[in-house]
């Protein structure tokens, strides 16, 4: 296989570090760019001595001049706790980051993939969500810096494609979990696992009837690389996620069972604009990428629990 020079923005984060690892395994040169806001050097410590790996501390809201063949644009805090910490910076990262990376792709004629999100569907009125659904997002709510930033980034990708003939790929990622999730980012999977391992109460927001579908990180990275390598002219957007839907209460019960914890479930107020349900329709990914997830929640949770044992 021919070695490519690949830029991964947000490469020191949860998904980015797994992606860098996999791209190196495939024989590529990887330039990991990250401002280390939510990502850590620990996530990529095992890659730093690799001869085909390079780390650069850089904020994507500023221009970047490097020579590359492909760009995976993942830079952006992904959890509400972190993206709401400095919401203006979150929008800047999505929008100005996209402009800079698209400008870079235009100059270098690189293929470019955007890590978009199921949050572009907002609190969806149709279920499961298909790519043609335009979403229901509150433009002035506390999630808007993330949701609208990501929506605008998609607009920029498609305009650069139409206006400058860029080779783009847009991926809408649904809830993903696995080792190297940030332990303090308040995501439901990491929260429940850490609470269960510590024997603390499991904090369900609302009644736990809201649903999510959880994709294990290895499945997600397979889908991401398949999309990048899909035929020219297929731009997406394409949903990548696990269509198997669980209520948050079911997730809590499963985590308690797998950790054999004595933790009790407690109920707390639901955060503002919290989507009631979310489930990807992955018909398009199956058709165009021959991709579907293979790792069951139980198996993926067990691997994630092993990882978090070092944090408690």
Catalytic residue IDs: 146
Single out the residue of 74, 173, 248, 284 in contact with ligand UDP (rule: CB under 6 A): 248
Identified binder of ligand UDP from the candidate list 10, 39, 77, 80, rule CB under 6 A? 80
Query: How, if at all, do strands 70-73 and 5-9 pair?
Result: parallel
H or E segment at 181? none
Taking each helix axis as running N to C, give the angle between helix 14-25 and helix 217-228, from 0 to 180 degrees, rounded to the nearest 10: 60
- Least Å distance, CB 307 to ligand NAD, is 14
Residue 131 · residue 236 · CB < 8 Å: yes
Question: Candidates 9-17, 46-54, 105-113, 121-129 — which segment interacts with ligand NAD by CB under 6 A?
Answer: 9-17
Region from 18-26, 97-105, 217-225, 287-295 binding ligand UDP, contact rule CB under 6 A? 97-105
The residues in 6-25 that bind ligand UDP, with binding defined as CB under 6 A, are: none
How far is the C-alpha of 60 from the C-alpha of 6, rounded, in Å? Answer: 16
Nearest 5 degrees, angle CA 174-CA 146-CA 69?
70
d(CA 275, CA 269): 14
> Which residues make Cβ contacts (< 8 Å) with residue 73, sequence separation at least 6?
9, 10, 60, 97, 98, 101, 112, 113, 114, 115
For ligand UDP, the binding residues in 28-67 under the rule CB under 6 A are 63-65
Residue 114 binds which of ligand UDP, ligand NAD, none (CB < 5-8 A, kind-dependent): none
Asked if 156 is part of the footprint of ligand UDP (rule: CB under 6 A), the reply reads no
What is the token pair recorded at 168? 């783009």
Q: Is 60 in the site for ligand NAD (CB under 6 A)?
A: yes
Between 143 and 226, CB nearer to ligand UDP = 143
Cβ 14 vs Cβ 78: under 8 Å: yes
Q: Which of 106, 127, 198, 303 binds ligand UDP (CB under 6 A)?
A: 106
Q: Considering only residues 103, 135, 141, 183, which one is a binding residue for ligand UDP as defined by CB under 6 A?
A: 103
- Enumerate helices (H) and strands (E) in the chain, giving the number of each: 10, 13
**Binding of ligand NAD by 93 (CB under 6 A):** yes
CA 158 to chain centre: 20
DSSP string, 107-137: HHT-EEEEEEEGGGGBS-SSSSB-TT---B-
Interaction partner, residue 117 (ligand UDP, ligand NAD, none; CB < 5-8 Å by kind) = ligand NAD
274 sits near ligand UDP (criterion: CB under 6 A): yes
Binding site for ligand UDP (CB under 6 A): 63-65, 80, 99-100, 103-104, 106-107, 175, 186-188, 191, 203-205, 210, 212, 248, 270-271, 274
Binding site for ligand NAD (CB under 6 A): 9-10, 12-16, 34-39, 59-61, 74-78, 93, 97, 115, 117, 173, 175-176, 182
């Amino acid at each position: 296989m021919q070695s490519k020079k690949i830029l991964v923005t947000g490469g020191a984060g949860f998904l980015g570090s797994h992606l860098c690892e996999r791209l190196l395994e495939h024989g590529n040169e990887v330039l990991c760019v990250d401002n280390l806001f939510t990502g850590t050097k620990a996530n990529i410590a095992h890659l730093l001595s690799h001869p085909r790996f390079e780390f650069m501390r850089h904020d994507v809201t500023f221009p970047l001049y490097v020579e590359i063949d492909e760009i995976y644009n993942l830079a952006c805090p992904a959890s509400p706790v972190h993206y709401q910490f400095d919401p203006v910076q979150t929008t800047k990262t999505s929008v100005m980051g996209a402009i800079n990376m698209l400008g870079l792709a235009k100059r270098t004629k690189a293929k470019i993939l955007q890590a978009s999100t199921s949050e572009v569907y907002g609190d969806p009125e149709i279920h499961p969500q298909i790519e043609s659904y335009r979403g229901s997002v509150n433009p002035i709510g506390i999630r808007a810096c993330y949701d609208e930033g990501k929506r605008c980034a998609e607009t920029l990708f498609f305009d650069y494609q139409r206006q400058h003939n860029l080779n783009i790929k847009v991926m809408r990622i649904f809830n993903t979990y696995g080792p190297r999730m940030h332990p303090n980012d308040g995501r439901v999977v990491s929260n429940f696992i850490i609470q269960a391992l510590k024997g603390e109460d499991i904090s369900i927001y609302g009644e736990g009837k809201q649903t999510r579908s959880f994709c294990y990180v290895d499945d997600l990275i397979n889908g991401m690389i398949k999309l990048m390598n899909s035929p020219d002219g297929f731009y997406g957007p394409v949903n990548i996620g696990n269509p198997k839907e669980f209520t948050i209460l079911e997730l809590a019960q499963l985590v308690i069972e797998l950790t054999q914890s004595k933790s009790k479930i407690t109920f707390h107020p639901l955060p503002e604009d919290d989507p009631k349900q979310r489930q990807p329709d992955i018909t398009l990914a199956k058709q165009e990428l021959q991709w579907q997830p293979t790792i069951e929640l139980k198996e993926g949770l067990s691997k994630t629990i092993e990882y978090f044992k070092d944090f408690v």
